[in-house]
Amino acid sequence: MEIHPARLSVFPIFQGVSLADIVALVAAGQGETVHRGDVVFREGKRAKDAFLVVQGRLGVYLGEGAGERVIGEVRGGEVVGEAGLMNLSARRNATVRALVDTDLMRLTPRTLLELSGNAGMVAIEMHILAAMARRIRAANLRLEEALAPAGATRATLPPTATTGRSLPPPVPGSTLPPVAPRPSMPPRPSMPPRPGLTPARTTVPPPESAEAPRAETLTQALLRILGGK
């Protein structure tokens, strides 16, 4: 099946890509058509290529037989089976089947290497990475919802040695506020004197001379000597 480059240029993933790069991408890819109900690849099979939907719709299924259920849909301008480009030993994690007659462009790891500098291939790679990121986020949300009942209890720190009570876990990213410096106390104002009262002046008597007792003792000794004569 021949793919016209103009059919790819209208897709959002190729916005800003030159027509020359799209022509080179189409020349390196392999066009094919699958009819309604045809299986593009099956779950569990080896993943060795990916497909760009040029026109039509594909359904994505999990399980087999009566347990098979639809988990998604792939439309024009989207890529399916990208694991075959990233991991040569990967296995298909779902079955893809055509919902209507659909035109595809097959992409192989060799195509990825040969067109490593092609803006159209780079656009496909960016589209694949964005799709994988969305799937990872969706899987994380489903995992959190599945674990929510078991993890609903709030975790606490072990009891402290002094009180025996449990402390709540710290809030991530929180810090204790800085301790403000303690303000200094203003000096106590002096009390003004009461009207009509003169504050008493306290006088301290001068210390007694240490020589006075000694002079008095010598005088008494002379008087006793003269009196004795």
Kindly state the average pLDDT of the residues 82-88. Answer: 80
pLDDT of residue 169: 53
Q: Out of 80-94, 115-129, 188-202, which region has the weakest mean confidence (pLDDT)?
A: 188-202
Strand partners, 69: 62
Distance (Å, whole) CA 36 – CA 97: 8
Alpha-carbon torsion angle 216, 222, 223, 224, nearest 10: 110
pLDDT of 109 above 60: yes
Proportion of the chain above pLDDT 70, given as a percent: 65
pLDDT tier at 162, thresholds 50, 70, 90: very low
Q: Which of 61, 55, 31 is nearest to 43 (CA)?
A: 61
Is residue 217's pLDDT more than 70?
no
Q: In this structure, are strands 79-80 and 50-55 parallel, antiparallel, or unpaired?
A: antiparallel
Residue 114: phi, psi to the nearest 5? -65, -30
Mean pLDDT across the chain: 77
Considering the domain 5-146, what is its CATH architecture?
Sandwich (2.60)
Cβ-contact 124, 84 below 8 angstroms: no
Q: What pLDDT sits at residue 205?
A: 57
Q: Which of 177, 159, 43 is nearest to 97 (CA)?
A: 43
Instruction: Write down the pLDDT at residue 84.
Output: 81
